[in-house]
Structure 1
Amino acid sequence: MFESDDESLLEITRDEENLLSSIKQKIKNVPLSRCICRIPEEQLKGNVDKYHPQLVSIGPLHHSREDLRSTEDRKWLYLHALLSRSTRKPTSMDARLKICVNMIKESEHEARKFYEGNNVKLNSHAFVEMLLVDGCFIIELLLKYSAKELRRGDDPFFTSMEMFLRLRSDVLLLENQVPFFVLHRLFKIVQIPNIKDHSHPSIVTLSIAFFKRIIQREVKNISSQHGEDFKHLLDLVHNYYLPTTPKFLSSSTGRQTILPTASTLHKKWIRFKQAESETLLDINFKKGVIKIPPLKILDHTELLFRNFIAFEHCHGDKAKPVTSYVLLLRSLIQSEDDIRLLYKSRILVNGLERQEQILDMLKKIIVEEEETTMDMDFYYGGLREKIKEHLQTIKINRFMCF
């Protein structure tokens, strides 16, 4: 009798194990929402340099492009430098290389899901090698940026400012990404030297240091708020642009959410003022004043906004804060008069110097307006209603055309 019960218990345990195994396999095979996508052909026309790498390929979407082969040797040099760095642990370069390769092999299925729908045709061997080389290249690049003593005198990425700026832009492109979890896992394997001002550097803190001048705000350690759960480096930078203020709720949808120009609003007694805010997207309205954080237009601004917008649409989430911000700017800024007004309000910091660039950028950035205003969660949707309510309270009879 006892033996029979024991055999029955054993059978139940095996059934449970089979069930658990089945559930784990299904979880493993659940497709992620895509977060590294190709840019639609319509958006690429005339703007390839804003979406496609010009110097170095990262990830599978531009792998083996003939015009980028000149920098492939540099990536292998970075890989060698990272894996051969001396360590207090008695681990050889060959041993570290083997650990890295085995880790990536185990992560291959998970990593491929980041490119779901993009027809990544690399076989397993080529895909693993690509993640290893590109991932280690990124880590070594971040280390060399923060620690000058690690750089070689003949390294063109750091001896030519033009090349460095192009490289930094390439590393931010949506089509030029590898999953962040791969970087994180590689970082835990390789030997990280002591770096001045970084007592215990992490992949996040080094990434923040590398992109600090692009972020346009006081940089704090974002890992304390978001951990290390980023999809890729573009996502990490994108997190620094997310608004912290409550969104403007709206009872209407579609084009009713779009504002008149800044000059038109100014004529209706609406004032503009520079906001002191943590992020660029923290826009506020109170007592007839629209407060907007200062924006400095730089050479990389258009590229950054374009790739943020592409990422928000690729990811499939209805919340598209940067898309909302750019759409709002397009509504407010349609002439040089609008630029001058926002410059005097200390919102467009270098607006007078770059009037043509600002107008051209906002005109050219493609945001599908029907999708943007009808299908997404427009962050500033209720701003127009708040302005109208304010005008009604001060009994102005000549309203703008709503």
Structure 2
Amino acid sequence: MEIGSTSLDKPGRNKDHVSVQIMNDDNYLATSIKQKMDIISLSHYVCRVPEELLKENQEMYYPSLVSVGPFHRGRVRGTDDLKWRYFNTLLSRKLPNSESVLDRCISALKHVERKARMFYRDTVELGSEEFVETLLVDGCFIIELFLECSFRSLRRSDDPVFSTDGTLSRLTCDLILLENQLPFMVLDQLFHLVPIPNQCNMSLIELALYFFRKLIPGYNSSIPPKKFGPEIHHLLDLIRLLYLPTSPQTRPTTAQNSMNHAMQLLRLGIKLKKADNEETPLNIKFSNGELKIPPLKIHSCTEILLRNLIAMELISHPKSCSKTVASYVVLMEQLIKTKRDVRLLHDKNILILDGYGREGEILMLFKKLSVGVDKNVNVEEFYYRGVCGEINGFQARKRRVLCEKMRYFYHRTHLGVVGFCLAVGFLVLVFTAVCISVLAYLLHHFH
């Protein structure tokens, strides 16, 4: 960019023009700023699950049927054919333009490759072509899976995902694993490039919500996509947004992180009630002696889902991802200490056992989930510290009122007994005196 020109005019000499040229640095500055913005925006990485959570529980964090993304690439053998078949089905819907669609997809993914690599906290060892291929095939597989789940007419009759018992459930569990995620921006870009069937009038978010509908309490197909804001990090993050409380957090007057279990609360005069079905599972409130808890459906994916949501919270920066789900598990473990607690919450329709487990198994579920979690959630991070403070304060007030009543009753009863005894004694003395007087009178006159 030419920023100045100097002319030297002297008698008897030709005019010499000196031009100072400076390279345009605007593009470099814009690129640098954009790179920094990308780094800042990636506050939710796809990370490795901490070793303390993995211990003896790898099956809860590692895929059993289909691997997605670079972390577990090649771990599950025998399912690559399924992914490639779904990939081919999706791109072949627009023959003979499938090659041009493929080229556009590859070009778009190469454009965001650097940002996609940054999305994974651990270094991705794959080369450029392998990495882009992984994003492309896995992303198209997920989109086609969502489409076939929503529209039966798109399925093959011999598709093992929908014709074999338990396969779809296993796939659902695999797609909510923290280490088994693709950046949502990759899915979104591909969704706008690949051929979508004419009968599909749903957005990518709506398709995802329908696929995960059994994991979403109070699922409603009319949930508007705008509910989730402009940026979703990955599919597990999408589900987490549906679990988070929608009402303001109870402000703690006295911050506490513990309370009595369900049967004790009941004995102390606190009513346990099921909140409205529209409430998100973590919207637990206490008011006027009533603890309202939204229903939680217990099914085959519950433990895997909660474990991976907790892992996501524990490894994320506190300012970008609060420990709300971890706090929920700690609170529920405190509520459920005995089988009678499970029975009570089940009778109140707070715990819905969707053909999964008995009372003892549900009891053990929350015990297992809370192992090591409570140590990672201090009082300040505990989301329900205000609720616990209110419950404990209510119990303390109830105890004080009860003590006052007992003291009042005791004093009142004590004085009443004394008065009654005095009155009876007085009457006995009067009656005795009268009897003595009568006897004396009779003896005097008869003698």
Q: Same fold (TM over 0.5)?
A: yes
Shift of 1:343: 2.3
Partners of 1:121 and 1:270 in 2: how far apart?
56
Classify the secondary structure of the residue corresponding to 1:373: coil
Which of the numbers 65, 72, 82 marks the counterpart of 1:62? 72
Q: Which amino acid aligns with 1:94?
A: E
> 1:329-344 residue pairs with structure 2 within 5 A?
329-344=332-347
- Could you tell me whether the CA contact under 8 Å between 2:53 and 2:311 is conserved in 1? no
Q: Could you list the per-position Cα deviations for residues 123-169 of structure 1 after superposition, in whole angstroms to 9, with x for gaps in the alignment?
A: 11110110001000000000111111111122111111211110111
1:165-314 equivalent positions in 2, closer than 5 A: 165-195=169-199, 198=200, 200-219=201-220, 220-252=222-254, 256-276=256-276, 277-314=278-315
**Quick one: which of 89, 105, 109 aligns to 1:104?**
109
Distance 1:3-1:268 versus aligned 2 partners, 3 A rule: closer
Note if contact 2:257-2:379 (Cα within 8 Å) is conserved in structure 1.
Answer: no
Partner of 1:95: 100
Q: 1:93/1:15 Cα in 2 relative to 1: closer, same or farther (>3 Å)?
A: closer
TM-score normalised per structure 2: 0.80
1:48 to 24, 43, 58: 58
Q: Distance in 1 between matches of 2:154 and 2:202?
A: 15
- The aligned residue for residue 375 of structure 2 is 370
Secondary structure in 1 matching 2:345? helix
Letter in 2 for 1:101: I
- C-alpha contact (below 8 Å) 2:110/2:132 kept by paired residues: yes
Letter in 2 for 1:95: S
Whole-angstrom CA distance in 2 between matches of 1:21 and 1:8: 31
Q: Distance in 1 between matches of 2:386 and 2:159?
A: 51
Contact 1:249 1:380 in 2 (8 A): no
Kindly state the Cα deviation for residue 388 of structure 1 after the two structures are TM-superposed: 3.1
* Structure 2 residue aligned with 1:39: 49
Larger displacement relative to structure 2 (41-50 or 13-22): 13-22
Q: Which runs of 5+ in 2 are unaligned?
A: 7-16, 404-447
Q: Is 1:76–2:77 an aligned residue pair?
A: no
Does the 8 A contact of 1:37 with 1:115 survive in 2?
Answer: yes
CA distance in 1, matches of 2:376, 2:308: 17
Residue 122 of structure 1: which of 126, 129, 152 is its match?
126
> Which secondary structure state, in structure 2, belongs to the residue aligned with residue 296 of structure 1?
strand
| Cα deviation code 1:331-350 (max 9, x no counterpart) | 11011121122223222233
Aligned partner of 1:14 among 10, 20, 24: 24
Distance 1:141 1:274 in 2: 35
Distance 1:353 1:168 in 2: 19
Deviation at 1:12, TM superposition (A): 7.7
Give the distance between the partners of 1:297 and 1:25, measured in 2 at CA: 43
Q: Structure 1 CA distance, aligned partners of 2:301 and 2:260?
A: 27
Greater Cα shift, 217-226 or 270-279: 217-226
* Matches of 1:8 and 1:174, distance apart in 2: 62
CA spacing shift, 1:397–1:182, aligned 2, 3 Å: same
SS in 2 for 1:193: coil
| Residue 348 of structure 1, aligned match among 345, 351, 354 | 351
Instruction: Please give the secondary structure, in 2, of the residue aligned with 1:37.
Output: coil
Structure 2: distance between partners of 1:29 and 1:336: 48
Instruction: Return the alpha-carbon distance in structure 2 between the equivalents of residues 222 and 315 of structure 1.
Output: 27
Alignment partner of 1:23 is 2:23:
no
The structure 2 residue matched to 1:143, chosen from 143, 147, 159, is: 147
2:49 aligned counterpart, secondary structure: coil
Larger relative contact order (C-alpha < 8 A, sep ≥ 6)?
1
Shift of the alpha carbon at 1:26? 3.9
Q: Specify the SS of the correspondent of 2:291.
A: strand
Deviation for aligned residue 1:30:
5.1
Count residues in correspondence: 386
Amino acid at match of 2:265: L
Q: Secondary structure at the match of 2:296?
A: coil
**How much has 1:354 moved relative to structure 2?**
2.2
Per-residue deviation, 1:263:
1.6
**Residue of structure 2 in register with 1:86 after alignment:** 94
Q: Hey, what's the Cα distance between the residues in 2 that align with 1:325 and 1:260?
A: 15
Q: Which has the larger radius of gyration?
A: 2
How far did 1:396 drift?
Answer: 3.7
Select between 145-154 and 18-27 the one with higher mean Cα deviation: 18-27
Q: Is the CA contact (8 Å cut-off) linking 2:282 and 2:325 kept in structure 1?
A: yes
Contact 1:309 1:323 in 2 (8 A): yes
| Number of the residue aligned with 2:443 | none
RMSD over aligned CA atoms reads 2.7
Compared CA separation, residues 97 and 17, structure 1 to 2 (3 A): closer
Instruction: Give the conservation status (yes or no) of the 8 Å contact 1:171–1:177.
Output: yes
Letter in 1 for 2:302: T
Structure 2: distance between partners of 1:18 and 1:11: 17
8 Å CA contact 1:31, 1:113 repeated in 2: no
Alpha-carbon deviations, 1:327-381, whole Å to 9, x = none?
A: 11011101112112222322223399621221111111134323212462x2211
Q: Is the 8 A contact 1:34 1:113 kept in 2?
A: no
SS in 2 for 1:64: coil
TM-score by length of 1: 0.88
In structure 2, how many angstroms separate the alpha carbons of the residues matched to 1:25 and 1:385? 45
